[in-house]
């Protein structure tokens, strides 16, 4: 018996969520006396997963699976779960995994819990804590089926190194034409930037920036923090920024360690999509903006004055830290 995780990768590297899943699975495995198996699909060198608790990696190499296909990926993961007699299958809360996880649960007649934010409250009965009501509350869900499928919220557990090693073996699932009724004709990927999905810090702008010509304020602040850039729905709808940067309930969900909102009033749909972020900072000229009600830190004032000053201070701080490290080096 094993705990199975689906380890996502992109551009030849594992996503941070893969290591977080491995860390989460290792903790449960230690309590249940089981092992951790990871499944990769056309992924990179799998040895890196061993450092976070994975005991074995099943590598799927298939030209048919070069483009993401939820049904085909789910079928491959189902077969891997059956091969390993896995009773717990873990996914991250990425866009792709949230497509796959319910399909795997149905195929295995398993109970499914999404938005899990902590280790199980108990293993018998199996009980997990989840975000609920657009991240405004927590719920506790008990799963009574023999096989359990969980989707773990981003940044909810963290990375825990275990200094282990992972054995690797090839795995060839049996796929048929029914798995490929839906085909990807083309895709567009953002390159050369910190992606919203993997970012620990996100700087987001709204209509308060008054136009796309002022977006350098967001980009400069993000560069100083090593952050991803994002925007509100109206900004995306107006064509100021690409849809790939739209965050919120109708865009991409964000669970960053730090989320900075500049010139965003805080519509309920936007807040619902970023509410899982640990620290929320709001900069807005309107003291009555709804966003201030959920902010951890708020600054009332003109973004065109505040953001450049904040960016400059961060650059100076980074420079001082860099010089300190150099001076302290042996």
**Which are the contacts of 295, defined by CB distance < 8 A and separation ≥ 6?**
261, 280, 281, 282
Q: Please list the alpha-helical segments (H only) found in the chain.
A: 16-32, 70-84, 95-107, 216-225, 233-237, 268-274, 303-328
What is the C-alpha separation between 303 and 210, in angstroms, rounded? 11
What is the C-alpha separation between 60 and 41, in angstroms, rounded? 5
Q: Which residues of 186-199 are buried (b: 16+ CB within 10 A; e: fewer)?
A: eeeeeeeebbbbeb
Binding residues: 207, 263-270, 284
Strand partners for 137: 132
Positive or negative torsion for Cα 52, 58, 62, 67? negative
Binding residues for FAD: 207, 263-270, 284
Give the pair of three-digit tokens for residue 127.
């009980």
Strand partners for 35: 2
What is the C-alpha separation between 233 and 272, in angstroms, rounded? 13
Radius of gyration for the chain, computed over Cα atoms and rounded to the nearest angstrom: 21
What is the C-alpha separation between 134 and 104, in angstroms, rounded? 24
Q: Cis peptide leading into 125, omega within 30 of 0?
A: yes
What is the C-alpha separation between 247 and 143, in angstroms, rounded? 31
Task: Work out the number of other CB atoms within 10 angstroms of the CB of residue 294.
Answer: 17
Task: Report helix, strand or coil for 99.
Answer: helix
What is the C-alpha separation between 155 and 176, in angstroms, rounded? 36
């Amino acid at each position: 018996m094993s705990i199975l995780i689906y380890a996502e990768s992109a551009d030849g590297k594992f996503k941070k969520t893969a290591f977080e899943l491995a860390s989460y699975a290792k903790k449960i495995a230690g309590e249940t006396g089981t092992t951790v198996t990871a499944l990769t699909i056309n992924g990179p060198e799998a040895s890196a997963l061993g450092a976070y608790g994975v005991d074995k990696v099943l590598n799927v190499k298939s030209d048919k699976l070069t483009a993401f296909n939820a049904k085909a990926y789910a079928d491959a993961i189902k077969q891997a779960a059956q091969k390993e007699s896995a009773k717990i299958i873990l996914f991250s809360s990425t866009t792709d995994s949230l497509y796959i996880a319910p399909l795997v649960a149905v195929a295995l007649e398993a109970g499914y819990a999404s938005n899990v934010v902590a280790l199980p409250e108990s293993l018998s009965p199996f009980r997990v804590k989840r975000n609920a009501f657009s991240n405004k509350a927590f719920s506790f869900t008990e799963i009574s089926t023999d096989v359990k499928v969980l989707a773990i919220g981003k940044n909810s557990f963290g990375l825990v190194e275990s200094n282990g090693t992972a054995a690797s073996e090839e795995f060839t699932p049996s796929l048929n034409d029914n798995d490929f009724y839906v085909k990807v004709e083309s895709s567009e990927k953002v390159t050369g930037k910190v992606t919203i999905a993997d970012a620990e810090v996100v700087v987001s702008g709204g209509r308060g920036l008054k136009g796309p010509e002022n977006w350098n304020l967001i980009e400069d602040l993000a560069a100083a923090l090593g952050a991803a850039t994002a925007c509100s729905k109206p900004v995306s709808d107006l064509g100021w920024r690409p849809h790939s940067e739209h965050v919120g309930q109708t865009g991409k969900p964000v669970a960053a360690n730090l989320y900075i909102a500049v010139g965003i009033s805080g519509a309920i749909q936007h807040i619902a999509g970023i509410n899982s972020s640990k620290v929320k900072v709001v900069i807005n000229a309107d003291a009555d903006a709804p966003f201030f009600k959920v902010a951890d830190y708020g600054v009332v004032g003109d973004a065109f004055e505040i953001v450049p000053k904040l960016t400059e201070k961060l650059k100076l701080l980074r420079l001082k830290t860099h010089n300190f490290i150099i001076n302290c080096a042996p």
